[in-house]
Copies of this chain bind each other. A is one copy, B any other.
């Protein structure tokens, strides 16, 4: 018998995942996982997601090298959101920023740039 909480996937088979830097506490990104992405993450300790636009499983950093090593996975009270606590290699954001949340809603730039995306992506 296990006390492991049930994870509630939505009608698309997805659950939102917040990735947080385990060291600094920075919220890095929000993405989605399906059952397979969660299982692969648990097996490998590398963050996996499901890309809604590409319609496929996605290992974070497989192209860019900016992988996320997962220290812990948490589940919220309702079981319908996950939190990956990660060690982020380089930057989490495809724009080159450390975190995807590099702007305020007023448009102020508050994030740090880690890399030039032209050097990383084709």
Residues of A within 8 A of B (CB): 2-5, 7, 16, 18, 20, 24-27, 29-30, 38, 42, 72-78, 81-83, 93-95, 97, 100-107, 110
Nearest Cβ in chain B — how far from A99, in angstroms?
8
Q: Which residues of B contact A105 (CB under 8 A)?
A: 4-5, 7, 38, 42, 73-75, 82
B75, A4: Cβ atoms under 8 Å? no
- Chain A contact residues: helix, strand, loop or mixed: loop
A77-B94, A101-B74, A101-B75 known; A107 vs B30 contact (CB < 8 Å)? no
B4, A83: Cβ atoms under 8 Å? no
A75-B101, A97-B77, A100-B76 known; A107 vs B5 contact (CB < 8 Å)? yes
